[in-house]
Amino acid sequence: MAIPASDIKFAGSIPALYDEYLVPMIFEPYAAEIAARVAALSPSRVLETAAGTGVVTRAMARSLPAAAELIATDLNQPMLDRAAATGASRPVHWRQADAMQLPFEDASFDVVVCQFGAMFFPDRAAAYAQARRVLRPGGVFLFDVWDRIEDNEFADVATQALAGLFPADPPRFMPRVAHGYHDRQVIERDLANAGFTEAPGFETLAARSRADSPQGPAIAYCQGTPLRNEIEDRSGDLGAATAVCMEAFARRFGAGPVDGKIQAHIVTARR
């Protein structure tokens, strides 16, 4: 599956804005959930792929035993730089790596973790096969993906608002990529094609996304994700796009603190 370069470009000011606005708004609730599940497995060596700015890494650093080794990787060096600069409560090995070609030995990890990264893999079965390869027998591959956009209110509102601003060519990053990989049968098929023979665990969890004002989610989505690249390709006017989304959030959720539903699938596959 070919993926446009703009869909996986997390550079410039995106990492900082992503970390400041998007991480506390939609990623932290699931990071805590993932970290708790990893800790319950009592692993001695954990690999994280597509670590981004390190929200799950930091959660695992707090929850894992001190003796457990934690390696966090990402394809985008600017995101990893932001994660490393923020740091964690314990030593973490930060390393640039492509989940499609992991530079680690076979059967060398107890757990492989990936939070909201699978949607960006150009060949998910191949990426999952890499995760399986580096897992020890009995090891666990634990990842999550966003559910459909209709069950994620902030992303849906932003997408509809931008469709009104660009009616001839609406930006579709959110439904196409971020919320474009939610079908359970497709995910199970990709895991089977990667060599996972046991039926995976599959759990859908809803949570709440909150911000102090409509400005927060407007900046988060328009300027702190690759949606920004689509906006810039069309007009370059990030200010206008952000303002349109801010107005849409205010109409839907009010002018004060905003609160919307988010929903994701957590998938567990055992080698």
Task: Quote the number of domains for the chain.
Answer: 1
Closest CA to 137 of 64, 197, 66, 60: 197
**CATH code, domain with 163:** 3.40.50.150
Note the pLDDT tens digit of each residue in 66-121. 899 999 999 999 989 999 999 999 999 999 999 999 999 999 999 999 999 999 99
- For residue range 113-161, list pLDDT tens digits in order: 999 999 999 999 999 999 999 999 999 999 999 999 999 999 999 999 9
Reading phi first (left if > 0) and then psi (alpha if -120 to 50, else beta), residue 116 is in left
Predicted TM-score of the model (pTM): 0.93
pLDDT one-digit tens code per residue, 169-213:
999 999 999 999 999 999 999 999 999 999 999 999 999 999 999
**3-state per-residue secondary structure call for the chain:** CCCCHHHHCCCCCHHHHHHHHHHHHHHHHHHHHHHHHHHHCCCCEEEECCCCCCHHHHHHHHHCCCCCEEEEEECCHHHHHHHHHHCCCCCCEEEECCCCCCCCCCCCEEEEEEECCHHHCCCHHHHHHHHHHHEEEEEEEEEEEECCHHHCHHHHHHHHHHHHHCCCCCCCHHHHHHCCCCCHHHHHHHHHHCCCCCCCEEEEEEEEEEECCCHHHHHHHHHCCCHHHHHHHHCCCHHHHHHHHHHHHHHHHCCCCEEEEEEEEEEEEEC
**In this model, does residue 9 exceed pLDDT 60?**
no
Domain of residue 209 covers 5-270
Distance of alpha carbon 140 from alpha carbon 257, whole angstroms: 39
